[in-house]
Every structure is written in C-alpha cells, then in structure tokens.
C-alpha cells in the first residue's frame, strides 16, 4: 500500500491505487446485504436478532481495531488505552439513552398524578430512578448535557478527543516511548476505570448504564428492526472509517508515521515534529474508537466500568496482532475473526474436546487457547493472518536486519547497546 | 565569507567524563570542512550538540545571519532551519520505497496538518526524479529502501539530505564500508554539495579526507587541536603524537 | 465452763436437729447483720444502702464473705430467730447451713424454717461495688487486677472511694499506676468537686488512650438552644449559624417551630398534597390544574388558599429567614459544669493533636508495610526489566503461582509453620522453573522486540490466569499464617501493626540484602551486571548472555513466587490476585527508575506512601486513592521521565 506511483502522469483515485480498499468495501457491502436478507427484521429470518446484534457489535470491534492498527501498526504506539476511549463513547451515548428513556417513563407516571409535574419534580424523578442504585437522588454535574442528543453526540467526539490530547501531549512531550508508553497508557486506562467504579463518579459506579438497547420513544419498533438499523450504521461507520484510514496512510502522512514507527529519531532530524504527528494520530484514533463505542453499546445494552479495564485494551491489541498489523484489512480480519470465534467458544456452542479421560470444555479453556495461540502468532507469524495474503501474492518483505515489522523505538536497552 | 555556524566555549560531560571541553568552531556559508580525530575525541557529540540531540552544560551555539541560538530549539526545529545530518550507520526507512523516502525529505511544510493535506504535484515528482538521478538511484526509485545495498543506502541518505535543501550538512563517516568506486562517487557528491552550502564531514579515513581537499579540523579530547589544510595539520607535532601515540 | 456447756448443747442440737441453737448469735458480724436485719430481709434497693455500707465499713474479716454469699444468693435467714446463715441446697427440701461468723458448717436441715435472701440485680450491683474495696486490697495481685478490670469495664461512683482507699496501700508498682490512673478517670466522672475534676482532666492532657477520650467526651456534650438575645454565661459552648455545616437551615428552623415560636414550614410534597386535597372541579385557589406545573404557581395557589383560611398558613422563605435572623442559636454544655466542660474540651483538643500525630505514625507504618509489599512484588519485575529490557506482563501470574503453591503445600502439610517454611522455597522453585521455561520458549526469540515481548507475555498471563481458574475455581483460597504470626504489635490505642506485615517488611529487607549481595559480591552478579551494560562485550568475554538472561529471568520470577506466598498470607489467594499488584509494580518500577534495585526500593516507598497518604485525605475511598495516585505518576513522568534513580550519562542520552 505504500507504493507511491511517481511514474504515473496523474494521480489516480485512492481506490484504484489501492485495490484492497475496493475489495474490502465490496465484501463489506455484500456482507451487509447478505445479513439483511437473512435477518428476521427484513429478510427470511435465517439469522436471529441476537446474532444480528453480535455481527453489528463485531463490526464496531473491527472499527476500533482499525483505530488500533493506525496507532500501533502504523505509528508504533502500543496504546493500551483505546478500549477506554471506546467505553467513553459508549458512556456518552448511553447517558442520553438512559436519561431520555427514564424521562419518558417518569413523565408517564407523573402524568397520572393530580397536579401536572413541575420541571423539578420530573428532574428529581429521573434522578431517583437513575441514581437510586448508588444511593443518590441528584444529578451529578457530568449529566448536565444528558438531555440533549446533539450535545451528547458531540461529547462522543470531544471527551475522548480531549482526554487523548491532554494525555498524549503529556506523554509524548516527555519523550516516553515503547513499553514505557504502553505501561503509561495502561495506567491511564486503569485510573479511568477505577474512577468510574466509584459510586460518586456520577456514572452509577459498578452498575454502569443499562437498558441502552431500548431507544427512547421507539418502544413500538421491534428489536429485530432496531438491531438492523444499528447493524447498518456500524457497517457504514466501518466502511467510512476504512476509507478514511486508507486515505490517511496512503499519502505522505502515512509515510511519515510509518517512518516514526521505524525510527523516530531520524524523522526528527528530517525536521518533522514527531510529537505533533503522534498526538494527531493518537487523538484521531481515540475519536474513531469512541465513535465505534457509541455504536457498540446501544447494541450491547449495558456498559459498566469493567469494560474499560486495561484487559479490554490488551485484547484489542491481540486482535490486531493476530489479524496482522500494519495493514488495515489485517486489523479488521483479526477483530472479526477472534471476537466471533470468542463468542462461539464462550457461548458454549463449541463441542467439548475429549482427550481420553480429559474432557476439555471450551467455555473454560478457550481463554487458555487464545492466550497460547497469541504467543504462537507473535513467535511464528508476526504478520498474523494478513501475512497469508502476502504469501498468496508472493510479496517478499525487504530484509530489515532482523528487526521485524513493528515498532521498537522504545527498546531503550538496544539503543544503549548501540551507542 | 560570512559565518554560518558558530560554536563557542561549549562543554558537556557525561557522568563526570568531559566529552566536549571548551570547544569553539566556525564554518562559513559555502565551505567544505573535514573533522578528524581519534576515537573519543568528541566528533559525534559535537554533531549531537549542533543538531539538538544533546544539550551542552555551557557555551553558545549560534546559526544563520540573525545568529539564532540553537540551544533551546528542538531537533525538528533545528532541522527545519536548514541543518541536515547524516548518521554513521545509514538510516533510511527500509519499509518504504526510495521515492517515498525522498518525497518525505523534500523541503515542504512539516506541520502535521499540512502533511496530511499534502499531495505531490508534478514539480515535486520531477524533483524526486532529479535527486534520484543525482545519487544514481533512478532505476531503483520504486524499490524498497531495505532492498538496497549498503552503499546505495548511504547515497539515498545523502539524497534525502540534499532534498531537505539544508544550508549546513553534517555528515558522519560517509565512506565507511564503501567500495573504492562508491567512495569516489561520494566525494563528488559532497564536493558538489559544498558549492552551495556548508558541509561538515566527520571521517577517520585520511585517504578520503585528502580526496575531499578541504580545510581540516582536528579534534582531541573534546577540543580543537589544530586547524588548516590536511598537509598543515599532518605536520603538526601534537597531531602526530595523538594519532601515533607517544 | 460455758464452753463445755455450749459443747454439750451443740451435741444435743445435733441430735435434736435443732441447729439454730448451734449458731453464734453473739458474733460481731451476726450482730451487725441483726442491726440491719429487717432492711436486709426487705431487700429494697432504696433502703438497703446503709446496710451494705455498714457491712463494708465494719472492718470485720467476715464482712467480705457475707457480702459475697449474699450477692450469690447463698444467704438465708432463720424465720424464727431472725439469725442469718450461709446455706447450700442439698436437694429440694434440705439445705446445709454454715455460720457466717466462721463459715463453719452447722449441718443439714430442712429448708422449711429458712428463707432465702434473693437480692435483685440492682442490689447485687451495690453489693458488688462494696465488695470491690475488699478485692482491691486482696492479698493476691491477680484478684486486685481482676477488680481493676471490672471497674474499668463498668465504673460506678462508689468505686471512687474504694479506689482512693486502696490506692495508698498498693505495693505492686504496675498495679499502683493503674489504680492511680483509674482513680483520676473516676474523679473526672464522679467527683463532686469541680476543682478536683479539672485537676484530673488536666493531668490527662495529651494522653491519646481510648478510655480517656471515652471519659472526657460525655463531659462536653451540648444541647442546641436558642434565644432572642446572644446569651451570656460560661456554659455556652458556641453559637451556631443556621445554614452552616453544623446546622442546616431546615434543622434550625425546625428548632424554632418545635418551640412554638414560629409557624411551620412545609415541604413541597406536603404543599402538593394540600393542593390536591383542596382540588375542586379542576381548579384550586383560583388556578386551573394545568397551570400548576411550576413551584411559583403552586406557592401562589397555596397562599390564596391560606388567605381564604382553607389551609394552615405556612412560613414563606422570607419569613423563615426573618425568624432565624431574630434568634441566636447556640450550644449549651449539659454534660458537666462549664468549667469542667471547658477543661475537658481543652484536654480533648490537646489529645486530638496527639492522636493525629499518632495516626500519622500509624500511617507511616501502614505505608511502610504497603511499600514492602510493592517492593516484593516489583523487585522481580525490576530485575527482568533492568537486565533484559523485558516487561513481563505475566509477572502478576507468577505471584499468583507462588501463592497457590503455598495453598497446595498447606493442603498436604497441616502444620502451618512447617508448611510455610516448605512453601517459600517450593514457590521459588516452581516460579523459577516457570520463568526459565518462559524465557527459553518465548522471550529468547523476541530479543529486541520489546512491544512484542510485552504482548506475548500478556498472552501467557491470560492463559495462566485461566488455567488457575480452571484448576482452583473462582472462589478465594485461604493461605493461613502460623499462630506466631497472628495478632499485632500494639504500641498504643492508635498505633499498631500486624506481625504478618512486620514479617513481610523483614522479608523485603532480606531480599534487598540478598540481592545486593548476589549482585555485588558473587561471580554471577558480576556477569549479570556485565550483560546488563553491554551484552555483546560480555559475550565476547566468555559470558554466555543467554544463560545469564535465563537465570536472571528465573530469579525475577522466583522472587515473584515468594512475594506471592507473602501476599497470600495477608490477602486471599485468587486467580486474579496477580492483576491487583501488576500495575502498582509497574508504577513502582517506572517511578523508581529502570535497572536499579534502589530505584525499585525508592519507587515502592513512594508509591506505597502516596497511596496511603491519599487514603488519609480521603479515607473512605480506596478507589479514588488509586485513581489519584496513577494520575500523579503520569504527571511525575513529565518531571522525571526515567524515574527517580535514573541511569545517567551517555548511555541514557539515547
């Protein structure tokens, strides 16, 4: 994808320069159409509504994996915090969904009272409904905009964007790189999830937000239809996101961020403000992750701080690594493949494996298999599943003197040894 | 000839070891200069200081007509002001094509958003082709840099430096590991470059320095030991002592 | 002569079974009892006092015994002669009686002629108080100590005199101190003389003991009152401002309402209910129902109803403010006379300062023990990170493996002391083996790809965690510490530290020493340092870096295993326990600086102190403490990106 065709007299459109984009978009469109035709909501009903939701959620995972690939596979920042941004997007949308739905319920119940409710009574009613579980009955300040969908949608972009901007600025400014940076992003994620676990964080502590699958005012519309809407929206977001990422990495910007991944000192001596580039990529991908989360959680129905815990972000890295980082379709394949496989195994659908007297139940042993296969992929197939494409296309990667595709700017010791 | 870079009274120490000791150095606007010295003389540290990688403990480094101090500027800012550096080991971006490498180095706005919106026009592509021709890599324009030979990588890096259009070029051991023919080519490249800008070459190899045919500065223990033509400095008693031992 | 007669009579009595005659009716104790005989028999709490006092004050040696028997309901009275005897029941109808004078047995008799004295609990208490003075001067120190314990548990006014009497004669120094202290405490509570109380209070200034505070606190009890004018008098503790933190505005007004000096204010809910009750044909107070969707409209409608006299008038906000402004609300001391209360408050303030100091000391101990846990957990990580540049995400799982090893050993060896002694080396061996295996199978092949190492070790981490879950289940397993590690070292009522924590602290010090010894004094340490600084050079000098890396990794993992046993002793063993420590361990390494044992030490101290320090400011919230600590560390990295103890020099400039 990196080839910049200079000999061509005029630049051809992006999709022609990178056939993989066209292939991907076609497959995505066919997939969306196929699922729609097989769904309960708009087709013959071969795919259950819950599976449509699973597929829709998987598409959201694919989108956040794209973001992860951009920041890690292309820019070399192994962020263990992108699932936190994903969760923040979910919280932002979830707050409106929960507020609006509760408001309708409260308004309905108060409408039956003798006197028409005052604004205060409605607000108190909603607050009691929402915060009763954490023993509060007043709206915390973070809910100031929860009544407005546009403002909460803006929050999907602004809140994770700002957090990423501030965190990234602090981290990159002090030239923290490599594993140090990964640990720092992990700490940020842990801090955020611990904060949200508190009851006085204003976001219902470990209860999280629930009932998000019910769209306010649309109670009459069956979930089979709603699930399709979200499926389409997720597919659209993934398509647009893919196109955007492909555009981003195809030009000089992509060239520079890959150069930063491979040798950021050298890029600095070329005159590029490395920290600025990293910050742009980090923030941009945080926003993409947040948008993916905003689409995911209405399909999942519930969000709680456990979803933000560092482990989720590490799984995200696992998906991208298994799919093959440094290539956009790799991230999508990895996220789709691993998360669907995970659903299949942990859902108890996989048949038990009988090894003589041992009976392996996949519900228990899937995580072990995932962990070990992840080690195996790292060791034996660093290019992941996407490497199969290279094998098929007989692309040979250049000899990079043992340093495999991937960032190692953080190899503090290696650098010291090189001095 | 006006002075482009002036380093005066610079000292830096690592853990008590004085790598640079009250070093003063000047170079004019279109000058080729060779810096020689035994291992540990502070040649690389000197370059690190000029390019902003290492902050000196004391001293001044000023650059350009307005005598801007470089000490508080970031590496990228210094590079943008027109100081280019070539490392000892060839460092090109091996995962990307020769054309991509050169395109990245072209003198353009380095701001992330400008880079994001940048799309090469015909003039840019012509310039890349021209540079490739100059460094003898026209045929390899679309090959990945990682596939090039060691010498070709050195040239690509010099080409990238030229693409930056720097006013001051710092070159660290450009001839290391090159064949004789390649050395000659490199000498020509550097001499050509020095016609329009200042070039500082750090080198061990006396033969190579002789071929450059320029003023030579000898560093020893972090300070200037001697300066002048190669013949002049090689006759210097102290220099002989330092190079050959007592 | 009379003796002989008496003896004969006694024998006769025995034969005739008329034992009352055998009693020494003239003994002083019996006479004393007889003097109060009716009162004692009546057993009324109101009147019994003088009788008990007389017995207690009699100075008779038998008095104590009488009181004890009486209290134990073992004293009976001969209904005929009125004489008192001790008795124990033999069966339903027969009792064996004793003479109170000498506690000599008289014989078994039918209980028909005797009436048992059954003092109620109140009287028994009074008897007990009277007995205290005997116990306080009992010859056996243990009895005296028991008596002091009893007083401390449940002090009474009457104890004070007894204590004062007994204090002088005490010859055991420790008991004398206790008695004197108790006497002062009782003086504070019960003495009639204010000057004596104040003197006693002042003698306790700065004593942080719980009993002192418990004694002083009731003295400064206050009651909230109000008056039109600012009150004079030294029993005013302070004046209160309505709406301040100590007295919410609604509470202040409720005070006025309760005293009947102000009309009631009602809540919004009550107002709404009142309006609903007055609802007629869709209107109320001249307003249509649909209009009543704001508080202002409801207030107006209610006011109109009040004007019409259909609902009680209520205070408006302005009236409430006026009423509050017209009164001064203050607290009056009710627990003690003002001078005593003020002295108590002064003493409590002084004690408070002392208590805070002690709490700080306790906090420092807590922080130290937390720091030593973090140090133990982080030291292995610091070694592998420092020597090999490898972040081992499975480090937490090695801690868990160590803890489970300890658990399994305890299942096999029931003796806790032996099992711990076996578990520690075994845990080291198990995790050392696991570490070496991991290094050989995975990490070696990912040299110089630190991010991939991080992810691969993470894969191992989730696999190990799930395997532990599959084997041991999800519930927490106990790792029981031996008896000699139970309990705490108590310095005073505030400062204490459990022996386990001390043991962990010692263990941490031990490891620090061991590590320093190995690194600086042994061949292997020399080789490790060589490989750390320059692996290629070390390799060319005949050191096998692969072997060193393997050993280093094993060592780091082995220490994690031992840390696991230590942590398991005071926390529960679960498959997720490693995760609880891994981030803090990373923080420790990051803050302290890489590749340096002192860095890990300083980092652990800082992280532990910080966490405890933040908890001190916000004690209810451990989660918040962790959040703020992590934020602090992120900011800390800005100032010192390479940690507190950073490698300096050219190498670190890269």
Strands of B68-69's sheet in order across: B17-28, B3-14, B58-63, B68-69
A379 lies in some domain: yes
Q: Cβ of B118 and A269 within 8 Å?
A: no
By Cβ distance, the residue of B91, B111, B141 closest to A6 is B141
The pLDDT value given to residue A74: 93
| Burial profile C495-511: b = 16 or more Cβ within 10 angstroms, e = fewer | bebbebbbbbbebbeeb
By Cβ distance, the residue of B91, B99, B129 closest to A4 is B99
Size of interface B-C (CB pairs under 8 A): 13
In 3-state terms, what secondary structure has residue B200? Answer: strand
Q: Which residue of C has its CA nearest to B15?
A: C649
Percentage, residues of chain C above pLDDT 90 = 8
Nearest-angstrom CA–CA distance, C274 and A328: 67
**Total of domains in chain A:** 1
Query: Are the C-beta atoms of C582 and C405 separated by less than 8 Å?
Result: no
pLDDT at C648 over 70: no
Q: Cβ of B111 and A273 within 8 Å?
A: yes
Q: Cβ of C654 and A184 within 8 Å?
A: no
Position of tokens 């729609």?
A36
The pLDDT value given to residue A3: 42
pLDDT at A6 over 50: no
Ranges A144-148, C69-73, C168-172, C425-429: which has the least confidence: C168-172
Q: How confident is the model at residue C299 (pLDDT cuts 50, 70, 90)?
A: confident
- Specify the CATH number for the domain of residue B172: 3.40.50.300
Contacts of B17 in chain C (CB under 8 A): 649-650
Nearest-angstrom CA–CA distance, B172 and B150: 15
In 3-state terms, what secondary structure has residue C571? Answer: coil
Size of interface A-C (CB pairs under 8 A): 188
Which bin fits C144, alpha (ψ -120 to 50), beta or left (φ > 0)? Answer: alpha
Q: Cβ of B93 and A273 within 8 Å?
A: no
Percentage, residues of chain A above pLDDT 90 = 41
Mean of the per-residue pLDDT values for chain C? 81
* Mean pLDDT score, A156-161: 95
Q: What is the pLDDT of residues C242-261, one digit of tens each?
A: 777 777 878 888 888 888 77
> Which chains have 3 or more CB–CB distances shorter than 8 Å to chain A?
B, C
- Which residues have CB under 8 Å from A209's CB, separation 6+? A90, A91, A94, A95, A97, A98, A203, A297, A302, A303, A304
The pLDDT value given to residue C205: 76
* Mean pLDDT score, B20-37: 86
The pLDDT value given to residue A87: 95
Percentage, residues of chain A above pLDDT 70 = 90
Q: Cβ of B100 and A253 within 8 Å?
A: no
Q: What residues of chain C, 635 to 654, have a C-beta less than 8 Å from chain B?
A: 648-650, 653
Give the tokens for residue A31: 């997939």
Most confident of A28-37, C131-140, C198-207, C283-292: A28-37
pLDDT at C364 over 50: yes
| Residue ranges making up the domain that contains A336 | 14-418
The pLDDT value given to residue C20: 45
Dmax (CA) for chain A in angstroms is 82
Tell me which of C451, C536, C630 to substitute to probe the interface with A (most A C-beta atoms closer than 10 Å). Answer: C451
Q: C345: number of CA atoms within 13 Å, CB side? A: 15
Q: Which residue of C has its CA nearest to B55?
A: C653
pLDDT at A401 over 50: no
Helices (H), chain B: 43-50, 75-80, 98-105, 112-117, 122-134, 150-163, 180-193, 206-212, 230-235, 237-244
Percentage, residues of chain C above pLDDT 70 = 94
* Mean pLDDT score, C368-386: 86
By Cβ distance, the residue of A3, A259, A263 closest to B142 is A3
The pLDDT value given to residue A234: 96
Nearest-angstrom CA–CA distance, B88 and B202: 9
pLDDT at A2 over 70: no
Q: What is the pLDDT of residues C529-585, one digit of tens each?
A: 888 777 778 888 888 888 888 988 998 899 999 999 988 887 888 888 888 788 788
Q: How confident is the model at residue C22 (pLDDT cuts 50, 70, 90)?
A: low
pLDDT at C146 over 90: no
Nearest-angstrom CA–CA distance, C423 and C640: 39
The pLDDT value given to residue C468: 92
Ranges A84-98, A376-390, C119-133: which has the least confidence: C119-133
In angstroms, what separates the C-alpha of C529 from chain A's closest C-alpha? Answer: 13
Give the angle A79-A83-A85 at the CA atoms, nearest 5°.
Answer: 90
A93: exposed, middle or buried (Cβ count in 10 Å: 0-12, 13-18, 19+): buried
Contacts of A179 in chain C (CB under 8 A): 391, 450-451, 454
Whether the full predicted model's pTM is greater than 0.95, yes or no, is no
Q: Which residue has the higher pLDDT, A204 or C624?
A: A204
Contacts of A414 in chain C (CB under 8 A): 389, 448
A273 lies in some domain: yes
Element (H, E) at A360: strand A358-360
A4 lies in some domain: no
**Cα dihedral across residues A116, A121, A122, A125: positive or negative:** negative
Q: How confident is the model at residue C6 (pLDDT cuts 50, 70, 90)?
A: low
> Which chains have 3 or more CB–CB distances shorter than 8 Å to chain B?
A, C
The pLDDT value given to residue A165: 95
By Cβ distance, the residue of B76, B129, B160 closest to A268 is B76
Contacts of B80 in chain A (CB under 8 A): 271
Tell me which of A123, A179, A367 to substitute to probe the interface with C (most C C-beta atoms closer than 10 Å). Answer: A179
The pLDDT value given to residue A124: 86
pLDDT at A101 over 80: yes
Q: What residues of chain B, 104 to 143, have a C-beta less than 8 Å from chain A?
A: 104-105, 110-113, 115-116, 118-120, 125, 128-129, 141-142
Q: How confident is the model at residue A402 (pLDDT cuts 50, 70, 90)?
A: very low
Most confident of A30-34, C326-330, C620-624, C635-639: A30-34
In angstroms, what separates the C-alpha of B110 from chain A's closest C-alpha? Answer: 5
Q: What is the pLDDT of residues B183-200, one digit of tens each?
A: 888 888 888 888 888 999
Q: How confident is the model at residue B244 (pLDDT cuts 50, 70, 90)?
A: low
Percentage, residues of chain B above pLDDT 70 = 98
Q: Which residue of A has its CA nearest to C640?
A: A174
Ranges A249-253, A413-417, C52-56, C529-533: which has the least confidence: A413-417
In angstroms, what separates the C-alpha of B231 from chain A's closest C-alpha? Answer: 32
pLDDT at A85 over 90: yes
| Residue ranges making up the domain that contains B155 | 3-244
Q: What is the pLDDT of residues A20-74, one digit of tens each?
A: 888 999 999 999 999 999 988 788 888 888 899 999 999 999 999 999 999 999 9
**Total of domains in chain B:** 1
Give the angle B140-B145-B151 at the CA atoms, nearest 5°.
Answer: 80
pLDDT at C14 over 50: no
The pLDDT value given to residue A305: 92
In angstroms, what separates the C-alpha of A231 from chain C's closest C-alpha? Answer: 31
pLDDT at C651 over 50: no
DSSP, res B97: B
């Amino acid at each position: 994808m990196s080839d910049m065709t200079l000999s061509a007299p005029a630049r051809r459109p992006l999709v022609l320069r990178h056939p993989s984009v066209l292939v991907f978009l076609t497959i995505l469109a066919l997939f969306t159409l196929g699922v729609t035709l097989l769904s309960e909501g708009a087709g013959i009903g071969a795919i259950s509504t819950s599976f449509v939701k699973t597929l829709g959620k998987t598409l959201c995972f694919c989108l956040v994996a794209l973001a992860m690939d951009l920041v890690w596979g292309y820019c070399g920042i192994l962020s263990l915090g992108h699932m936190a941004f994903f969760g923040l997007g979910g919280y932002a949308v979830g707050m409106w969904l929960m507020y609006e739905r509760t408001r309708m319920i409260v308004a309905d119940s108060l409408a039956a009272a003798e006197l028409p409710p005052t604004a205060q009574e409605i607000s108190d009613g909603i607050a009691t409904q929402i915060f009763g579980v954490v023993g509060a009955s007043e709206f915390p300040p973070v809910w100031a905009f929860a009544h407005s969908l546009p403002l909460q949608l803006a929050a999907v972009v602004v809140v994770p964007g700002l957090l990423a901007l501030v965190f990234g600025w602090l981290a990159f400014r002090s030239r923290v790189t490599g594993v140090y940076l990964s640990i720092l992003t992990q700490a940020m994620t842990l801090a955020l999830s611990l904060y949200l676990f508190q009851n006085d964080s204003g976001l219902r502590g470990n209860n999280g937000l629930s009932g998000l699958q019910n769209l306010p005012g649309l109670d009459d519309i069956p979930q089979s239809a709603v699930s399709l809407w979200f499926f389409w929206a997720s597919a659209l977001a993934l398509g647009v996101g893919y196109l955007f990422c492909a555009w981003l990495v195809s030009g000089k910007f992509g060239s520079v961020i890959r150069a930063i991944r491979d040798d950021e000192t050298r890029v600095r001596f070329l005159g590029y403000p490395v920290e600025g580039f990293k910050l742009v990529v980090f923030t941009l991908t945080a926003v993409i992750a947040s948008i993916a989360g905003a689409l995911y959680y209405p399909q999942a129905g519930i969000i709680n701080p456990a979803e933000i815990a560092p482990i989720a972000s590490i799984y995200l890295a696992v998906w991208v690594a298994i799919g093959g980082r440094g290539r956009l379709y790799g991230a999508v394949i990895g996220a789709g493949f691993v998360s669907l496989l995970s659903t299949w195994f942990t859902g108890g659908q996989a048949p038990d494996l009988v090894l003589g007297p041992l009976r392996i139940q996949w519900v228990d042993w899937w995580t072990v298999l995932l962990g070990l296969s992840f080690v195996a992929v790292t060791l034996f197939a660093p290019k992941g599943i996407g490497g199969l494409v290279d094998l098929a296309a007989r692309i040979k990667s250049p000899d990079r003197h043992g340093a495999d595709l991937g960032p190692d700017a953080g190899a503090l010791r290696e650098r010291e040894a090189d001095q | 000839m006006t002075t482009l870079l002036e380093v005066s009274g610079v000292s830096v120490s690592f853990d008590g070891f004085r790598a640079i000791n009250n070093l003063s150095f000047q170079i004019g606007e279109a000058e080729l200069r060779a810096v020689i010295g035994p291992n540990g003389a502070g040649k690389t540290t000197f370059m690190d200081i000029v390019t902003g990688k290492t902050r000196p403990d004391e001293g001044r480094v000023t650059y350009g007509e307005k005598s801007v101090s470089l000490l508080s500027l970031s590496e990228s800012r210094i590079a943008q002001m027109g100081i280019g550096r070539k490392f000892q080991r060839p460092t090109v971006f091996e995962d990307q094509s020769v054309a991509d490498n050169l395109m990245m180095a072209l003198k353009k706005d380095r701001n992330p958003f400008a880079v994001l919106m940048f799309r090469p026009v015909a003039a840019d592509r012509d310039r890349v082709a021209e540079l490739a021709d100059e460094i003898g890599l026209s045929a390899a324009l679309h090959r990945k840099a990682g596939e090039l030979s060691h010498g070709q990588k050195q040239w690509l890096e010099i080409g990238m430096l030229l693409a930056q259009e720097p006013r001051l070029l710092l070159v660290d051991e450009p001839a290391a590991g090159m064949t004789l023919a390649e050395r000659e080519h490199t000498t020509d490249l550097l001499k050509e470059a020095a016609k329009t800008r200042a070039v500082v070459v750090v080198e061990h190899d006396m033969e190579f320095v002789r071929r450059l045919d320029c003023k030579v500065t000898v560093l020893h223990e972090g300070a200037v030991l001697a300066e002048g033509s190669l013949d002049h400095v090689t006759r210097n008693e102290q220099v002989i002592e330092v190079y050959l031992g007592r | 002569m009379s003796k002989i007669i008496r003896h004969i009579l006694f024998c006769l009595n025995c034969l005739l079974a008329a034992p009352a005659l055998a009693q020494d009716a003239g003994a002083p104790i019996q006479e004393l009892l007889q003097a109060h005989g009716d009162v004692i028999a009546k057993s009324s709490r109101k009147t019994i006092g003088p009788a008990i006092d007389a017995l207690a004050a009699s100075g008779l040696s038998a008095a104590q015994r009488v009181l004890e028997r009486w209290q134990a309901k073992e004293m009976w009275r001969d209904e005929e002669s009125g004489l008192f005897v001790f008795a124990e029941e033999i069966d339903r109808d027969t009792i064996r009686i004793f003479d109170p004078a000498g506690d000599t047995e008289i014989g078994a008799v039918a209980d028909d002629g005797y009436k048992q004295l059954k003092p109620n609990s109140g009287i028994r208490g009074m008897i007990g108080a009277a007995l205290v003075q005997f116990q306080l001067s009992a010859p056996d120190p243990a009895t005296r100590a028991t008596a002091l314990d009893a007083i401390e548990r449940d002090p009474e006014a009457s104890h004070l005199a007894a204590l004062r009497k007994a204090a002088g004669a005490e010859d055991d120094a420790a008991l004398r101190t206790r008695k004197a202290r108790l006497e002062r405490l009782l003086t504070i509570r019960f003495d009639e003389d204010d000057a004596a109380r104040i003197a006693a209070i002042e003698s306790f200034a700065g004593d942080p003991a719980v009993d002192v505070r418990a004694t002083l606190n009731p003295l400064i009890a206050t009651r909230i009152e109000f008056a039109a004018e600012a009150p004079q008098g030294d029993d005013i503790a302070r004046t209160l401002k309505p709406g301040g933190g100590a007295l919410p505005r609604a509470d202040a007004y409720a005070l006025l309402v309760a005293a009947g000096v102000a009309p009631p204010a009602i809540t919004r809910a009550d107002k709404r209910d009142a309006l609903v009750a007055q609802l007629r044909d869709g209107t109320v107070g001249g307003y249509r129902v649909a209009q009543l969707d704001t508080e202002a409209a409801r207030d107006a409608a209610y006011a109109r109803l009040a004007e019409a006299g259909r609902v009680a008038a209520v205070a408006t906000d302005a009236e409430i403010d006026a009423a509050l402004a017209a009164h001064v609300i203050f607290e009056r001391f009710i627990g003690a006379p003002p001078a005593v209360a003020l002295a108590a408050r002064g003493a409590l303030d002084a004690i408070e300062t002392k208590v805070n100091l002690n709490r700080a000391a306790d906090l420092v101990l807590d922080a130290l023990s937390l720091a030593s846990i973090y140090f133990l957990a982080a030291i292995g990580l610091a070694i592998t990170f420092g020597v090999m540049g490898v972040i081992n995400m499975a480090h937490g799982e090695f801690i868990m493996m160590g803890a489970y090893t300890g658990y399994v050993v305890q299942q096999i060896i029931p003796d806790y002391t032996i099992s711990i002694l076996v578990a520690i080396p075994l845990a080291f061996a198990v995790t050392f083996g696991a570490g070496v295996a991991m290094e050989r199978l995975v990490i070696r092949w990912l040299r110089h790809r630190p991010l991939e190492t991080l992810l691969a070790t993470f894969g191992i981490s989730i696999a190990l965690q799930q395997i532990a879950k599959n084997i041991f289940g999800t519930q927490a397993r106990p790792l029981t510490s031996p008896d000699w590690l139970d309990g705490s070292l108590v310095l005073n009522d505030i400062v204490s530290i459990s022996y386990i924590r001390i043991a962990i602290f010692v263990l941490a010090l031990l490891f620090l020493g061991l590590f320093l010894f190995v690194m600086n004094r042994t061949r292997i340490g020399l080789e490790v340092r060589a490989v750390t600084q320059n692996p290629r050079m070390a390799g060319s000098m005949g050191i096998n870096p692969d072997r060193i890396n393997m050993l280093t990794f094993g060592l780091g993992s082995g220490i994690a295993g031992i840390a696991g046993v230590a942590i398991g002793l005071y926390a529960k063993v679960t498959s997720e326990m490693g995760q609880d420590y891994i981030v803090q361990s990373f923080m420790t390494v990051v803050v302290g600086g890489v590749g340096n044992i002192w860095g890990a030490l300083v980092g652990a101290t800082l992280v532990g102190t910080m966490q405890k320090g933040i908890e001190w400011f916000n004690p209810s919230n451990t989660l918040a403490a962790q959040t703020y600590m992590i934020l602090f560390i992120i900011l800390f990295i800005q100032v010192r990106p390479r940690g507190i103890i950073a490698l300096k020099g050219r190498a670190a400039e890269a």
